[in-house]
Amino acid sequence: MNKGTFFCIDAHTCGNPVRLVTSGHPVLEGETMGDKRLHFMREFDWIRQSLMFEPRGHDMMSGSFLYPPCSDNADASILFIETSGCLPMCGHGTIGTITAALQAGLLKPRVPGKLVIDVPAGQIRVEYQMTGDKVDWVKIFNVPAYLAHKDIEIDVPELGRITLDIAYGGNFYAIIEPQPNFPGIDQWTPGEILKYSPLVREIAGKAVECVHVEDPKVRGLSHVLWSGKPKTPGSSVANAVFYGDKAIDRSPCGTGTSARMAQLHARGRLQPGERFVHESIIGSQFVGTIEEVTEIGGVTAIRPSIQGWAKVTGYNQILVDDDDPYVNGFQLV
């Protein structure tokens, strides 16, 4: 039986939704959040579907559960849920989760202003600033990011031949910069992004294998990042990230920003310590920095940081009952 009452704090990070689920946590098996993620996907994915898809959610819905830490040095763990699945890491989701949890008193840091969080992709550090009872900003020191594949050429129906890179920043991203058959997102409509992104993801995902160099549980090309000229003062470059079946990230995308910085560094266009301001499709910004260059699995990688903000929009009590024919939600594709 799929039944339960879930209390949630709804928020958005730079425009993209985050639903922090504060009750109904399933007991998950495993020593790490990576193991617990796999258990959730096997046994409890109905919770994700019920809370993320219509009629209780929508195509862009993203959420999380806050769990006790898996590691002795951590303050907490986060399990990410969204319409595209149960992600290894989510940058905007972390910023929204930390903001909502701190403001609600659900998270008590060992050191004020600093947190260590276990996530399925590994462990991250977090810094934040509060004024009174409000969180001003959250800065994530993300898992290592790296360029996985370079100069992949694919033929996309109706679009033509394009060249892309694939980088990892917590999830795998196909990164498409302006070129003859793609003028840039500043000259495209959201409809064009939604039309071509699933094709790019499918074709590129078949052209090369995307498996993390150290963790084979993390695999598959899940996101497509289109680049272009920014419209907000101070931005380095703009982007639009496609995920799920028909979602465009309204935020600049935290793991996408990490992947983009890894790609730019591998191409010699971004150096450690340089300020990288990534703009979203709605003009909101994340500030990224390459904190250091490292190596994982024999591959050169970066340790990225991403800073952004989130706002709580409301408190929600959601009922899930299997006498509802749409208990597991639905999606119109």
- Distance from CA of residue 22 to its chain's centroid? 20
∠ Cα 96 280 115 (to 5°)? 30
Nearest alpha-carbon partner for 90 in 330, 310, 277, 245:
310
Strand bridging mode 76-82 / 247-248: unpaired
Helix (H) or strand (E) holding 198: helix 190-207
Length of the chain: 333
**Looking at 8, 70, 86, 90, which residue is catalytic?**
90
* Residue 86 among the catalytic residues: no
Decide if 304 contacts 90 (C-beta within 8 A).
no
DSSP 3-state of 43: helix
The tokens describing 48, both together, are 């994700």
Catalytic position from the list 14, 70, 86, 253: 253
Q: Is residue 55 reached through a cis peptide bond, with omega within 30 degrees of 0 on the bond before it? A: yes
Active site residue 90: yes
Supply the residues annotated as catalytic.
90, 253
